[in-house]
C-alpha cells in the first residue's frame, strides 16, 4: 500500500517586506505578556521587523513549559520535547537566532509501542508499515486505504497556522471518527496512541480535527521525530538576549488610553515594591487563555470572554528518571495504547550523549502520565504518585530498577489545552471577532498553544501569526 503525502501546504506567515516596514515600526512599542515560546517568537519577529519590544514574564526564567531545568547534568524539563523534522516555524526560528549548532540537526527519535507488555519497534511511516502495527486486525488493515482518500478530501481545510479553517469538520471525536472509518483495532492501536502521544489527550474527547491536523502536519506520518540536543529552553534563552525581557513581573490589567494606545499594569513579587506600567502601541498576550481573558477583561467583548472561559486545559504529570546506564542505543519514543491499561501515556528513553540531555554513558527516561491518571491523582501527595508511576515504568523497563540514580516529578495543573469536539468551532468564532476588533483599531493580539495545538510548533506558529498581524496593522 502506498500513497502520496501532501506537499507542504501550510501557509507560512508572511512578514511585510523589511525596509519600509522597519521605518514605520521604529517609533512603535509593543509589549508581550508571557515569555513562553509563543511570546518569545512573537517578540523576536516584532523586533526583527523594527519595533521596540518589551516582554513581561511572571516567572523567574524564560521559556514557559520549555524552561531549562537540570540536575547533575540530566535535563529534568517539564515536557518531553519531542519535535518533528517538519516543524518549520520552530526550526526556522532556531536558525534565525544562530542556534543551529546546539539545537540542530535534531537527533532522530525511533518510535516504539507497548504491545501486551512488551516494547515493540513501530517506526511505521507508510500505510503498509502502519497496517503491520501490532494488535491491528487483518480486516481493519484494508480499511486503512480509506485514509488517503479522506485526507485528500479534507486537505484544503487543514492549515496548521489557521486551524479554525477546519471548523466544518469539528463534529466528531477522534474515537468515533477512527472507529467508523478505520475500525476498532486501528483506533486502539494506531490512531489513539499516536494522537495521545502528540496531544496528551483522550481520543474519546478530542476532536477529530486534532488528529487530521497532526496527520497532515506530519506528512501522513512520514515526518521523522527528533529531539533538540541542548533542549528548547536554549532557544528561549538565546532569544531573550536579543529582546528586553522583564522576569518576575506579572501583568495584572490592561486599559485603553485616548488615541488607542494601551496601558499595561504589572506587579512585581509581593512586598518588592516593583510595580511597573508600560504605555504601548500594541500588546500581544501570550499566556494561557484564562489569564489572557482576566488581564484584558476591560478590552474584550463578551464573545471573547466566553471563549477564554471555555478553553479547557488538562493537568499533566511528568516524571524524569536518571539512569546510571543507557537503556537504548538511540532515543526512542514509546507510545502506550490505553488498551494496555497503564498509567503512562508516552515516554522518551534517551541514551546520554555529549552536549545532550543526559551525560555520556548514562540514560534518561521522561514519561508523561495519562490524562486520566493526572486527573484522578490531582490531590494525592507526590511520593505516592511517583511510586505508582515508577512501578508502572519498571514493569516495562525492568533494567531501570537497578540503574536508577534519581527521579524528578513535576506536576502542571495547566498542562496542555484540550481540543475537544467543538473547540475548533469556538476558535473560528474567536478569530472572526479578532478581525472585527482589528478593523475597529484595537491593537491587541493573542498567541499560545490553545490557539493552534498542544505542541511547541503550534505555540511558535501562533506567535508568528500574532506578530505578523500586529506588524501589518502597525505598518499601515
Ligand atoms: C507534560 C508535557 C509534555 C509536553 N511534551 C511536548 C513535546 O514532546 N513536544 C511538543 O511539541 N510539545 C510538548 N508539550 C507542549 C508544549 O510544552 C506547549 O505547547 C508549549 O510549551 C506552549 O507554549 P506557550 O508559549 O503557549 O505557553 P507557556 O509555555 O505556558 O508560556 C506562557 C508563559 O506566560 C507566563 N505568564 C502567565 N501569566 C502571566 C502574567 N500574568 N504575566 C506575565 N507572564 C505570565 C508564564 O509564566 C509562561 O512563561 C508538552 C506539554 C506538557 C505539559
Counting beta carbons within 10 angstroms of the beta carbon of residue 270, is it exposed (0 to 12), middle (13 to 18) or buried (19 or more)? exposed
Q: Indicate if the pLDDT at residue 2 is higher than 50.
A: no
Can you say whether the dihedral through the CA atoms of 333, 337, 342, 344 is positive or negative?
positive
Of the candidates 31, 21, 22, 44, which has an alpha carbon nearest to the alpha carbon of residue 261?
31
Share of the chain above pLDDT 90, in %: 76
Arch. (CATH architecture) of 18-66+232-312+420-474 = 3-Layer(bba) Sandwich (3.50)
Looking at ligand 1, which residue's alpha carbon is closest to its atom 14?
455
Mean pLDDT of 36-42: 98
Question: Which cell numbers hold the place of 381?
Answer: 501527595
pLDDT value for 18: 62
pLDDT in tens, 269-320: 877 778 999 999 999 999 999 999 999 999 999 999 999 999 999 899 999 9
Distance 440 CA to ligand 1 centre (A): 31
Task: Write out pLDDT tens, residues 145-201.
Answer: 999 999 999 999 999 899 999 999 999 999 999 999 999 999 999 999 999 888 878
What is the model's pTM?
0.93
Tell me the CA–centroid distance for residue 97 and ligand 1, in Å: 20
Q: Please give the pLDDT value at position 199.
A: 81
pLDDT in tens, 71-105: 999 999 888 889 999 899 999 999 898 887 777 78
Kindly state the percentage of the chain with pLDDT values over 70.
Answer: 96
* Residues comprising the chain, all counted: 476
Picking from 136-140, 158-162, 354-358, which range would have the lowest pLDDT averaged per residue? 354-358
pLDDT number for residue 6: 44
Give the distance (Å) from ligand 1 centre to CA of residue 85: 20
What long-range pairs does 114-118 form, CB within 8 A, spacing at least 24?
A: 114/334, 114/335, 114/336, 114/337, 114/340, 114/342, 114/396, 115/189, 115/337, 115/340, 116/340, 117/340, 117/395, 117/396
Q: Which helix (H) or strand (E) holds 402?
A: helix 400-403
For residue 65, give the ligand 1 atom closest to its CA: 29
Ligand 1 closest atom vs CA 316: 1
The reply to whether omega before 201 is within 30° of 0 (cis) is no
What's the pLDDT tens digit per position in 394-437?
999 999 999 999 999 999 988 899 999 999 999 999 999 999 99
d(CA 432, CA 33): 22
Pocket lining for ligand 1, CB < 6 angstroms: 33-39, 56-59, 64-66, 79-83, 250-251, 286-287, 291, 295, 316, 318, 368, 412, 415-416, 448-449, 454-457, 459
Amino acid at each position: 500500500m502506498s500513497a502520496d503525502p501532501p506537499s507542504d501546504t501550510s501557509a507560512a506567515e508572511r512578514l511585510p517586506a523589511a525596509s519600509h516596514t522597519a521605518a514605520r515600526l521604529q517609533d512603535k512599542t509593543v509589549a508581550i505578556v508571557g515569555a513562553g515560546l509563543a511570546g518569545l517568537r512573537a517578540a523576536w519577529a516584532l523586533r526583527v521587523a523594527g519595533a521596540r519590544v518589551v516582554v513581561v514574564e511572571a516567572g523567574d526564567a524564560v521559556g514557559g513549559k520549555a524552561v531549562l531545568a537540570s540536575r547533575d547534568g540530566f535535563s529534568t524539563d517539564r515536557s518531553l520535547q519531542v519535535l518533528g523534522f517538519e516543524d518549520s516555524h520552530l526550526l526556522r526560528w532556531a536558525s534565525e537566532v544562530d542556534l543551529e549548532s546546539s539545537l540542530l540537526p535534531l537527533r532522530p527519535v525511533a518510535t516504539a509501542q507497548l504491545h501486551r507488555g512488551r516494547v515493540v519497534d513501530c517506526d511505521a511511516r507508510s500505510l503498509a508499515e502502519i497496517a503491520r502495527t501490532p494488535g491491528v486486525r487483518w480486516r481493519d488493515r484494508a480499511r486503512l486505504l480509506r485514509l488517503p482518500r479522506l485526507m485528500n478530501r479534507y486537505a484544503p481545510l487543514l492549515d496548521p497556522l489557521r486551524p479554525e479553517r477546519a471548523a466544518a469538520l469539528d463534529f466528531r471525536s477522534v474515537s468515533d471518527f477512527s472507529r467508523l472509518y478505520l475500525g476498532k483495532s486501528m483506533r486502539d492501536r494506531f490512531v489513539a496512541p499516536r494522537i495521545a502521544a502528540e496531544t496528551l489527550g483522550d481520543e474519546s474527547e478530542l476532536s477529530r480535527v486534532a488528529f487530521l491536523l497532526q496527520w497532515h502536519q506530519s506528512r501522513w506520518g512520514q515526518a521523522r521525530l527528533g529531539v533538540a540536543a541542548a533542549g528548547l529552553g536554549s532557544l528561549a534563552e538565546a532569544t531573550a538576549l536579543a529582546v528586553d525581557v522583564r522576569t518576575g513581573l506579572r501583568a495584572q490589567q490592561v486599559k485603553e488610553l485616548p488615541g488607542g494606545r494601551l496601558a499595561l499594569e504589572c506587579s512585581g513579587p509581593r512586598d518588592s515594591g516593583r510595580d511597573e506600567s508600560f504605555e504601548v502601541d500594541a500588546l500581544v498576550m501570550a499566556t494561557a487563555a484564562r489569564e489572557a481573558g482576566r488581564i484584558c477583561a476591560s478590552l474584550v467583548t463578551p464573545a471573547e470572554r466566553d471563549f477564554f472561559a471555555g478553553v479547557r486545559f488538562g493537568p499533566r504529570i511528568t516524571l524524569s528518571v536518571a539512569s546510571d546506564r543507557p537503556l537504548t542505543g538511540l532515543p526512542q519514543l514509546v507510545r502506550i495504547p490505553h488498551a494496555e491499561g497503564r498509567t503512562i501515556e508516552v515516554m522518551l528513553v534517551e541514551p546520554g550523549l555529549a552536549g545532550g540531555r543526559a551525560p555520556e554513558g548514562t540514560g534518561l527516561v521522561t514519561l508523561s502520565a495519562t490524562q486520566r491518571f493526572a486527573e484522578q491523582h490531582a490531590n494525592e501527595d507526590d511520593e505516592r504518585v511517583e511510586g505508582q508511576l515508577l512501578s508502572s515504568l519498571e514493569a516495562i523497563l525492568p533494567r531501570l530498577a537497578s540503574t536508577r540514580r534519581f527521579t524528578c516529578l513535576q506536576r502542571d495543573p495547566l498542562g496542555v489545552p484540550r481540543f475537544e469536539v467543538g473547540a475548533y468551532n469556538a476558535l473560528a468564532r474567536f478569530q472572526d471577532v479578532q478581525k472585527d476588533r482589528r478593523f475597529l483599531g484595537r491593537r491587541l493580539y493573542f498567541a499560545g498553544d490553545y490557539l493552534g495545538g498542544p505542541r511547541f510548533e503550534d505555540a511558535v506558529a501562533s506567535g508568528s501569526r500574532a506578530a505578523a498581524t500586529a506588524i501589518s496593522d502597525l505598518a499601515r
